[in-house]
Chains A and B, each alone.
Chain A
Amino acid sequence: MAQQGNVGELLSMLDSPILGVLEDITAAFKDNLICDRGPMLVNNLVDYYLETNSQQALHILSTLQEPHDKHLLDKINEYMGKAATRLPTLSLLGHVIRRQPSWKHKLSQAPLLLSLLKCLKTDTDVVVLTTGVLVLITMLPMIPQSGKQYLHDFFGIFGRLSAWCLQNPGHVAEIYLVHLHASVYALFHRLYGMYPCNFVSFLRSHYSMKENLETFEEVVKPMMEHVRIHPELVTGSKDHELDPRRWKRLETHDVVIECAKISLDPAEASYEDGYYSVSRKLCTSLKHHQTDPSASYYVDTQSSYGTSTPYSTPRLTLSQMPGQLPQILSPQSIRQSTEPQQVTIWSPSAVCGMTTPPTSPGVVPSESSQSASQPYSKAFGTSGGKGTPLGTPATSPPPSCTSDDFVHVSLPSAAATPSKKEDKPDTGRPLLYRQQNVINSDKSLDTPSSKSSVTLSDLPEFLGGLSFEDSAEKDREEDAISKEISEITTDAEHMVPRGGFDSPFYRTNESLSGSQKKTHSVASSVQGHSQTSEPLTSSLDKPGPESARETPKQTFTPIDKPCGGSGESPAGNREGTSGETSIRTPSPYKVPAQRGVVSGSGQPPLYEHLFEVALPKTAYLFVGKKTEELLKKAKGTQDDECVSSTSPVEVLDRLIQQGADAHTKELNKLSLPSKSADWTHFGGSPPSDEIHTLRNQLLLLHNQLLYERFKRQQHALRNRRLLRKVIKATALEEHNAAMKDQLKLQEKEIQALKLSLQKEQARYHQFQEEHENIVAQLHSQIRQLQHDREEFYNQSQELQTKLEDCRNMIADLRLELKKANNKVCHTELLLSQVSQKLSNSESVQQQMEFLNRQLLVLGEVNELYLEQLQHKHTDTTKEVEMLHAAFRKELEKAKLCVQQQSQRLDASQKRIAELECQLAKKDHLFLEQKKYLEDVKIQARGQLQAVESRYKAQKRITQAFELEILDLFGRLEKSSLLKKLEDDKTEAAEAAEERLDCGNEDTVAGHSEEINGRNGETKPPSTRGSSSSKGGSSSELSTPEKPQNQRFSSRWEASVLLEPSTAVPLTVGSLPSSKSFLGMKARELFRNKSESQCDEEGVTINRLSDALKTELYKDPSMETKESSVGQLHIMDYNETHHDHS
């Protein structure tokens, strides 16, 4: 409880005016929150906030950390249920959410969301609804993937609210409806951007119903005219767009930008992807269309709203509707126009609830009021002094001031173009941008026509005068700062005309970008300058046909970027001029130009294009360094900015809230009728609910403002990210350039190396040639030397042959020498032999002499003995002795003889043995011989058999022949006999002879048959005999012939006996003779062959042959005797043959 009390105290102290206490309290709260995890403190804070609407409490609540979120959400949910506290709760929720707490993802699960949706579905309070819708819109990008389950709730809410806008069931003030409509429009954008497929299908199903048709026609359809076809409608599907994976990659600001991209509304859209030209055209034409017929101030103010709020559609509807609203609002706008350019704390934008930061209105008037000759520092100072009554930091104005300064400075130089000046008085109103345009065109003119020296020289001087000696760097710092407050600058730009002229703001806005484009086109080509300048001016003069004129401008867009950047951002322009003008090629300015246009359409990311303009130049000398510095600065300023940017907003909020009371007085004077067009009540006291309405309106505006601020923050976030990417890209480009340089260097090096290589090669070739020459020389030398060597070799060979000859000669001589030696030796030997012989012969002679002498002596002795013998008788003893000796000698002789005999015996015995052996061998040999002989015999027998069979065959042949011959003879004779018989016919003998003939014939036939039969019988024995009588025994041989002879002879005899006639016996007789002759032949042959074997047998044969002869002799004799027929030839032949044999 103590704590409870403590908390109460703390809460009471929370709003103390003393700053120190405030900080302490805040710190204490934060400590408490860190220590305490219970819901109590948070609940107390929420209660306190709802009670007092304390900013400090709000601040603490909106920065709550993780563990307390649940309590906070629960508490909010709790209060949400109560209708009384709903609105502040919602605004609290909005504050908390816009802070983007780290626990934002939990929102989707929180019951709070459900109750919010429920509230939106059921509540009838427009203010609550509008606030709730804005909260929802803010929340949607934070919880994209969880939106799935509530998708139909969202769509339902959209349907309900869109219908509400039209039907106005609560009959609330129209002004609320405007707010509601705006928020519905935002919801439409968000839903369409996030879930196009689902949303479109919802729209299809929802508005196909008849009761909703009107709503569609009146509310939704105009909204749809401000969106382009979402790409997801083509590529995606219902499920795909709800896929968490799709959302995972996108952060909150990504989602916001995604939604902005598909919008065609210049106030809402983001033209990052080059859609801008189309969208711009569309929106501008739309605007013209709207403005031209109505030409009311209200529309103008609306268009000024348009920079922040998407009011194009409501505008349209409102303009068509009975002009209640314009009437209501017109006093405001009139009042705004009546106090133009006034340097007051009171800015029209604040009154209108514009998103424009409060600083800008202060700045813009200062700009316009300042003279051209005023130095920059002064402008800075004045702007600071004038522009910060609301606590705006003094840093914000510089960019606009500088741009202003620049404009002024360049104004005199722009005098060179009279046509422009002429235009100036004509237009009159858009002076500022006109001047800018002039300058820009001038600039662009100068640069291409190489007159940039003037401006270049002028600029530094002027800048020097502005105490910007370190111009570029400082400027860039300024730029960085200016980027941080990009919103301010952009708004300032837009504000200028609005504040300065009572003419429609949209045109300034429009013509600003348009003129920029034109100037770019001018810059692009000198020749086309004059032509393009005219349409430029005319378009400025006549807003009506501008839409038509837009098209030619669009054609120039590719080239005309740079000046847009320069026009928009004087710093960038200055960079360009101070750096180098020649860099201003169209390509690098392309992106900046687009950015410029984007910024012109009211989108915050202005500083981006500044950077873009600045960065390409960093490619020069101190590029990298600068970028780094710049980055650092940017970061630093960003940090600073976080504090500085929020504070004025808070101030503004407070201002609006606190100043509402004071403002009511003036409102009373102005008499703003709420429900009807009470123009007559002007100056009368307004009804009490009017104040309420205004308050609510204010609240709504505040909500709107907060929503827009949230959006702006998202954009800023995104811009920072993009900036980082850009920086990275630039760094990479730098890197690339450096690499290219390196590459070039290396290429040079390579070329140098190639050159040296060629040189080296040439040298190498030279060396090679030299080497070859040397080699050739050496070769020739070698050849010569070889030649010499060969010669020497030949010589040596010759010498060697000579040497050989000499050696041969020496050998010959040696041989001769040897021979001679031999001869000598031989002769010596001979000599010695001869000498020996000589000595021998001498000794022989001596012996001879000695023997002769002995002979003589012995002769004398012999004579002596003879004398003694003669003197004496023969002595017997001596004889006996002599005999003995003789016998003995004989015995010895005999013995010797015996010995000899025995030896001979032995020898002979041996001889006998030898001979026996030889005999055996011989016997063996004989056996072998016999065997061989047998063999040979067998062989011979075989051959002989063959011969014999041949012989037999021959015999058979002969027999056959003979038979044939006989047969033929027989026939011949028979025929001749028949003739004879016919000749010597005697009748008596005829018959008998005929008879005989017949018988004879028969007998002859029988004979032949007999012979045949006999032959058949006799032959086998004969063959048998011949085969058996190999040796050829005579007896056996003779036997076959004899019987034949006998047989034939007997036959012959028989025939003779039978018939002693002539023919037959003769023929028969001849046969044996021939037969015998053949037999003789055979015998002779046989005898010749086997004569040696059978000599004895030959005798018998002879005898037999003799016998045969006798027989044969007999036969012829008989034949001769008995026949006179000349058949003797054969016989004779036979005889002679026999004689011969």
Chain B
Amino acid sequence: MADDSQRNFRSVYYEKVGFRGVEEKKSLEILLKDDRLDIEKLCTFSQRFPLPSMYRILVWKVLLGIIPPHHESHALVMKYRKEQYWDIHHALRVIRFINDSTPQVDVFLRIHQLESGKLPRNLAFPLEPEDEVFLAIAKAMEEMVEDPIECYWLVSCFVNQLNSKHKDSLQQLPKILEQYLNIEDNRLLMHLKACAAMSKLPYDLWFKKCFAGCLPESSLQRVWDKVISGSCKILVFVAVEILLTFKMKIIALNTAEKITQFLENIPQDNTDAIVSKAVDLWRTHCGTPAHSV
């Protein structure tokens, strides 16, 4: 890599010794300095290292195609995005789908619906499951991003990416989960199977909503880093890690309903550790993330 020459030669050793993320910020800055952003490299970077929070939104926007790789057009494109957002917003106001009191998340949903042409005839229409997913993700994203426009675009593009790019692989995830759980902890898997809880695990929450609402935002960001950069397998490992972490409790629970209920409301105190372990697990099982994209 050409960037490696610019990076600190010690970075390799840092990683070897166990210091991760020493030079990441710098290398990311180097990457972001390129005029035409290399999306491939950014993807690799995001897979390999946790993103510094100050560049996270930018990287996500680039990776999700909200802004083009050229720095020059960023401002213009963002202007367009903004106008588009406000146009739709205005339209929705005109047709009285939203008003001032409408929650931001609903606004996002309506805009998304309008944009995708799925706007219901009137407000009374019940929400569809995909709308629920959108709302959950938007809620999580709203916590992470301050600017509503950026937030909307991120949510929208993220959902679109999930729906388009990962649609097939998402459906495979429960199976993969079972497989890895078998490797990691056979006994737990047996217990779950014995409880017939395997099919009733909160797959929607985990894989469709990408843990939005399950993990706190700080942990969620790190999971989404990987997802946005193209690896949805990380979701499986997060799920496995959650199961492993709360193994004792899960084993203590006998019924599938209870397990599901517990897993839907896991305690949020040490989720950072869970995510870190999950990332490690993911690395060990999928090798170098750079090549497993």
Contacts and interface: CB of A to CB of B under 8 A. Distances in A.
B36 interface: yes
Contacts of B261: none
A942 B114 contact: no
A953 B84 contact: yes
Given A956-B114, A1015-B117, A942 B36 contact: no
A103 interface: no
B84 A949 contact: yes
B259 to A, nearest CB: 37
B68 A956 contact: no
A943 B68 contact: yes
Contacts of B95: 960-961, 964
Interface string B42-83: 000000000000000000000001011110110011001101
12 contacts: A935-B70, A938-B70, A939-B72, A942-B77, A945-B65, A946-B68, A950-B87, A957-B114, A960-B91, A964-B95, A1012-B121, A1019-B117
B88 interface: yes
B77 A946 contact: yes
Given A942-B68, A943-B68, A950 B73 contact: no
B94 interface: yes
A947 interface: yes
A952 B112 CA distance: 12
Contacts of A1015: 117
Interface string A174-195: 0000000000000000000000
B31 to A, nearest CB: 18
A942 B73 contact: yes
A946 B73 CA distance: 10
Contacts of B73: 939, 942-943
B117 A959 contact: yes
Interface in B79-136: 80-81, 83-84, 87-88, 91-92, 94-95, 114-119, 121
Given A939-B68, A954-B87, 19 more contacts: A939-B70, A941-B68, A942-B67, A943-B68, A943-B76, A943-B77, A943-B80, A945-B65, A949-B84, A952-B115, A953-B114, A953-B115, A956-B115, A956-B117, A964-B94, A1008-B121, A1015-B117, A1016-B117, A1019-B117
B98 to A, nearest CB: 12
Listed residue (A949, A954, A957, A1015) with the most chain B CB atoms within 10 angstroms of its CB:
A957
Contact of A957 (B36, B68, B69, B88): B88
Contacts of A935: 36, 70
A1066 B189 CA distance: 66
A1013 B81 CA distance: 28
Nearest to B120: A1012
Contacts of B72: 939
Contacts of A938: 36, 68-70
Nearest to B94: A961
Interface in B5-50: 36
Contact of A942 (B70, B83, B87, B119): B70
A690 B116 CA distance: 179
Contacts of A954: 84, 87
A950 B83 contact: yes
A957 B65 contact: no
Nearest to A963: B121
Contacts of A957: 87-88, 91, 114
Contacts of B84: 946, 949-950, 953-954
Interface residues of A, number: 27
A376 B215 CA distance: 151
A941 B77 CA distance: 11
Interface string A58-80: 00000000000000000000000
B262 to A, nearest CB: 38
Interface string A1018-1034: 01000000000000000
Contacts of B87: 950, 953-954, 957
A954 B117 CA distance: 11
Contacts of B36: 935, 938
Contacts of A953: 84, 87-88, 114-115
A928 to B, nearest CB: 15
B258 to A, nearest CB: 40
Contacts of B76: 943, 946
A609 to B, nearest CB: 116
A1012 B117 CA distance: 10
Contacts of A963: 121
Contact of A960 (B65, B69, B81, B119): B119
Interface in A934-987: 935, 938-939, 941-943, 945-947, 949-950, 952-954, 956-957, 959-961, 963-964, 967
A941 B80 CA distance: 13
B81 A946 contact: yes
B77 to A, nearest CB: 4
Nearest to A964: B95
Contacts of A1019: 117
B69 A942 contact: yes
B107 to A, nearest CB: 14
Contacts of B80: 943, 946-947, 949-950
B118 A1016 contact: yes
The list of the 6 closest CB pairs from A to B, nearest first, reads: A942-B68, A957-B91, A946-B80, A950-B84, A939-B70, A946-B77
A950 B91 CA distance: 13
Contacts of B70: 935, 938-939, 942
Contacts of B92: 960
A961 B117 contact: no
A939 B75 CA distance: 12
Contacts of B116: 956
A949 to B, nearest CB: 7
A947 B81 CA distance: 8
Interface string B276-293: 000000000000000000
A1035 to B, nearest CB: 24
A838 B245 CA distance: 121
Contacts of A1016: 117-118
A952 B95 CA distance: 18
A939 B69 CA distance: 8
Nearest to A1020: B117
Nearest to B111: A953
A963 B97 CA distance: 13
Nearest to A1018: B117
A1012 B122 CA distance: 12
Nearest to A949: B84
B26 to A, nearest CB: 26
Interface in B214-233: none
A334 B87 CA distance: 173
A967 B68 CA distance: 39
A1012 B94 CA distance: 20
A959 to B, nearest CB: 7
Interface in A977-1019: 1008, 1012, 1015-1016, 1019
Contacts of B68: 938-939, 941-943, 945-946
A899 to B, nearest CB: 58
Nearest to B67: A942
Contacts of A960: 91-92, 95, 114, 119
B35 to A, nearest CB: 9
A941 B73 CA distance: 10
Contacts of A945: 65, 68
A693 B236 CA distance: 156
Listed residue (B36, B67, B115) with the most chain A CB atoms within 10 angstroms of its CB:
B115
B270 to A, nearest CB: 41
A840 B91 CA distance: 102
Contacts of A964: 94-95
A942 B80 CA distance: 11
A345 B84 CA distance: 172
A1014 to B, nearest CB: 11
A1016 B95 CA distance: 19
Interface in A495-531: none
B205 to A, nearest CB: 27
A934 B192 CA distance: 55
